[in-house]
């Protein structure tokens, strides 16, 4: 999995490309957490436009970041989720606690 980061205000944006599964989950978790800590970010937007596959390990990554930021009053947003990855989110019930947006701009505007 390839990760690219951006920052807008106190929000880190994580652009992910590849498969978010048990092989890549720990690496993604570590890199995202590190970036959140270094940037002292309150919010995280995870861009799934480049994610081609996600399993339950990916759900764990998202939930873990949600818990980490929620403890300090921050939020996690997901953007550009489509196809089979969106179905995994729906089946897990994640959209009940994490907001889905069609674009990064839309997520930023709703922080």
Contact 51, 19 (CB under 8 A): yes
pLDDT for the residue 109? 96
pLDDT tens digits for range 55-89: 999 999 999 999 999 998 999 999 999 999 999 99
pLDDT for the residue 52? 96
Contact 100, 79 (CB under 8 A): yes
Global confidence as pTM: 0.96
CA pair distance 16, 74, nearest whole angstrom: 20
CA pair distance 23, 10, nearest whole angstrom: 30
DSSP at 111: -
């Amino acid at each position: 999995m390839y990760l690219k980061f951006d920052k807008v205000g106190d929000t880190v944006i994580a652009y992910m490309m590849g498969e978010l599964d048990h092989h890549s989950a720990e690496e993604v978790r570590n890199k995202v957490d590190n970036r959140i800590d270094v940037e002292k970010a309150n919010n995280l937007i995870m861009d799934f436009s480049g994610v081609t596959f996600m399993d339950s390990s990916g759900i764990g990554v998202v939930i873990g970041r949600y818990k980490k930021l929620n403890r300090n009053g921050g939020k996690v947003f997901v953007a550009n989720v489509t196809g089979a990855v969106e179905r995994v989110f729906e089946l897990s019930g994640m959209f009940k606690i994490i907001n889905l947006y069609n674009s990064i701009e839309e997520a930023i505007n709703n922080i």
